Amino acid sequence: MKHWQSFKYKHLFFLLLSIIVSIILYKNHTLNALMLNLENLGYVGVFITGILFVSAFTVITSIVIILGLASKLSPLEIGVIGGLGAVVGDLTIFRFIRNDLIEEITPIYKRLGGNHITRIANKKYCRWLLPIIGAIIIASPFPDEIGVGLMGLSKMKTYQFIIISFILNTIGIYLIASTYLLFKH
């Protein structure tokens, strides 16, 4: 246990482990069938689907679930409740990147001679550009990890991130749920 506490790259290890576990779970057909049954859980299923909406490994499944939920619930309900779930997922990624992962990666980055990206990121135009690019990625149906990462690298306050994440994910999920209404006839 002492060795683990002194291990310098715990968060990097957990990131790699979570990617490996996600790939294994994604290829598990039983788990995919279980996730597709989330639409039977009503609002709780919408919330969980919102959490799934932010990950590269579960975004496609969550879109399918959202379309299934749109046959039972209004797109606005799906958007708002799914947006709340997506905030939980995004905030987890945001806090992990901002508080832990950056701390571990920075010494590795500096040892490899990287200061040019830091200089560019500290430029005035990049301070407002990173969150804008991140917001565009979050609003799109693309997985949020890159967008959240860009926002985590900026000096954005957590409450600002929560508000932006909620608004953008709510709009994105609402638009996906609304497409069901276009094609239902």
Predicted model pTM: 0.72
What domain range includes position 128? Answer: 2-183
Q: What pLDDT score was predicted for residue 25?
A: 62
What is the mean pLDDT of each successive set of 10 residues along the chain, which is 185 residues long? 62 67 66 70 90 80 86 93 94 74 62 59 65 78 72 78 91 91 74
Q: Is the dihedral of CA 131, 129, 54, 109 positive or negative?
A: negative
Q: Which residues contact 117 (CB under 8 A, 6 or more apart)?
A: 109
In total, how many domains does the chain have? Answer: 1
| pLDDT (0 to 100) of residue 84 | 97
Contact 40, 135 (CB under 8 A): no
Candidates 156, 153, 170; CA nearest to 54 is 170
Plot region of 13 (φ>0 → left; ψ -120 to 50 → alpha; else → beta)? alpha
The string over 91-127, giving b where at least 16 C-beta atoms fall within 10 Å of a residue's C-beta and e elsewhere, is bebbebbbeebeebbeeeeeeeeeeeeeeeeeeeebe
Identify which of 75, 95, 117 has the alpha carbon closest to the alpha carbon of residue 162: 95
